[in-house]
Homo-oligomer: A and B are copies of this chain.
Amino acid sequence: MRDLTEENVTEAVLEKFASTPDPRLQAVMASFIKHLHGFIRDVEPTEEEWFQGITFLTELGQMCDDVRQENILWSDTLGVSILVDSINHRRPEGASQSTVLGPFYREGAPDFENCGDIGANTEGHSTRIRGRILDFEGNPVANACLDVWQTAPNGLYEVQDPEQPEYNLRGKFYSDDNGYYELLTVAPVSYSIPTDGPVGKMLNATGVHPLRPAHVHFIVTAEGYEPVVTQLFTEGDEYLDSDAVFGVKNSLVVEYQSSSDDEEFLVNYDFVLVRSAHRQ
């Protein structure tokens, strides 16, 4: 393993990592090395470009803290997150579709009763989202948990915004015996993903806008069913066709209907779960 050249270096690197004890890690390393070297051979970076890449990778990590995950944002904006999501959730048509988790999920949101209001501390257009949790055969799923989060009308999640109370616009709801859930919030808005880090620089340099259509995030879990990580998007939003993170699916676009007294929006959506592949 001396005198490595453009011609033989990739084989030498593969050979060195070929003795990785764990076969899964061995396969991942081999594929990663092949594609990484393939990329380098394709673009033939100058040493200055290589160092720009090193600097970009470094900035990605250094932008991260307890509430900011720039590497997830990078994965999201390059379509990797939605690709991983698609690979892991090959669901039958009719089941609720999943989409990207995004970097702003936070565990430990407070429990609410049905009809509880996660937007009680937030000015905005009052919105009632309701429906049922159903299995694939149309039967109600009781006691399913809906872990919900969204931005305030200023486009910021509470972790990004010192003005919002802890866990503002986050909450867990539970379906009743007939599978019904119902929650109150404020209407979500379209917003920009954070652009003050390296991902923002990348989007700026490539002329890609950083905006996402308005949406509410959900993780729906119920014993015996596959969890669904998803979002409900607002019909009519101008960014539905150019979501910065490639997350929009037509089955997840919902109408915000005005109530008869114009006091609130009404959204109806039934979540359809599929049974876990490996139930106990």
Q: Which residues of A contact B (CB under 8 A)?
A: 1-6, 9-10, 12-13, 16-17, 19-22, 25-29, 31-33, 35-47, 49-50, 54, 57-64, 69-72, 75, 78-88, 205-208, 240-243, 246, 248-250, 253
Q: Can you sample 7 A-B contacts with CB below 8 Å?
A: A4-B246, A20-B206, A21-B207, A38-B38, A40-B80, A44-B87, A50-B75
CB distance from A204 to the nearest CB of B (A): 11
Q: Are B61 and A9 in contact (CB under 8 A)?
A: no
Q: Are A9 and B62 in contact (CB under 8 A)?
A: no
Q: Are B9 and A79 in contact (CB under 8 A)?
A: yes
CB distance from A151 to the nearest CB of B (A): 21
Instruction: Choose among B43, B47, B83 the residue that contacts A88 (Cβ–Cβ < 8 A).
Output: B47
List of B residues within 8 angstroms of A206 by Cβ: 17, 19-20, 25-26, 29
Q: How far is the CA of A45 from the CA of B2 in the complex (A)?
A: 33
List of B residues within 8 angstroms of A69 by Cβ: 54, 58
Instruction: Choose among B28, B29, B249 the residue that contacts A2 (Cβ–Cβ < 8 A).
Output: B249
CB distance from A103 to the nearest CB of B (A): 9
Instruction: Choose among B64, B71, B79, B87 the residue that contacts A4 (Cβ–Cβ < 8 A).
Output: B79
List of B residues within 8 angstroms of A45 by Cβ: 28, 84, 87
Closest 9 CB pairs of A and B: A61-B61, A13-B79, A35-B39, A20-B206, A35-B35, A31-B42, A2-B248, A57-B71, A6-B86
CB distance from A157 to the nearest CB of B (A): 18
Other A-B pairs beyond A9-B82, A58-B71, 16, CB < 8 Å = A4-B246, A4-B249, A19-B206, A27-B43, A28-B45, A29-B206, A33-B78, A36-B39, A37-B80, A38-B38, A50-B75, A50-B84, A57-B57, A58-B64, A61-B64, A62-B64
List of B residues within 8 angstroms of A60 by Cβ: 57-58, 61
Q: Are B71 and A54 in contact (CB under 8 A)?
A: yes
List of B residues within 8 angstroms of A80 by Cβ: 36-37, 40, 50
Q: Are B47 and A243 in contact (CB under 8 A)?
A: no
Closest to A47 in B: B88
Q: Are A28 and B49 in contact (CB under 8 A)?
A: yes
Q: How far is the CA of A217 from the CA of B244 in the complex (A)?
A: 45
Q: Are B86 and A5 in contact (CB under 8 A)?
A: yes
Q: Are B35 and A38 in contact (CB under 8 A)?
A: yes
Q: Are A79 and B6 in contact (CB under 8 A)?
A: no
Q: Are B242 and A86 in contact (CB under 8 A)?
A: no
Q: Are B43 and A31 in contact (CB under 8 A)?
A: yes
State whether A83 and B40 are in contact (beta carbons under 8 Å apart), knowing that A28-B49, A205-B25 are contacts in the complex: yes
